[in-house]
Structure 1
């Protein structure tokens, strides 16, 4: 319950309690607080038992800690693995992001290397100059845009503003 209270903070709380309640009333206050905590615990335990008895025998292994989302996922999803999440972990470990990004960069820049992202069977889209996509008015991403001459204004793009 008091896991994040350090020793210096605990000493400060004790000194504060002695100053507020006085040394003669402090034992009675501590006893009253402990009695209150015991009653709250007994009330919560009886409420849990009432809920378990009302749920019936099919929920005999029901724990209230399972209602926390992290515990629920750990118990019902990760332990059983009926959704194949361990296979997902293997796929994630086999995926090399740097290699994939290098392939995409090479494909965009037009480099013809061993790691080209274009399919070799010709079934995928091609962005060469003779392709229908290039002749349909789409810009060629491999070509560097021309710089305007001195005194000439750059082209205006209404969609970019």
Structure 2
């Protein structure tokens, strides 16, 4: 019930209740509120139990679509797009291969701690390295 209400909100409600009701009526109001919430929970639990007893196994069939709707409440569009585009691939861009080089040593050769060079790019497209102060070429038609 208090999933979306934090301690800060509860503190604000208590302080507002203290100002509105006063210190002499606040304890009785809190007791009444607690008793009412407990009674509503008991009614809901009783109704659910009675419905489950009357419907039998059909109750679970009715409950499954409701659980599916509740799962939509936690829907994250980023996760859905990532899952759709990459089909659950944990490393879609191959970044782990660059870090680990496939030998389990996380980029080191294990003898002196020097890192191994990255894997060579595919032979179909040579890579041209730029000098440290050289600007990359600009294609005006591409922009």
**TM, length-normalised to structure 1:** 0.37
- Point out which structure has higher relative CO (alpha carbons under 8 A, 6+ apart): 1
Say which one has the larger Rg: 1
**TM, length-normalised to structure 2:** 0.41
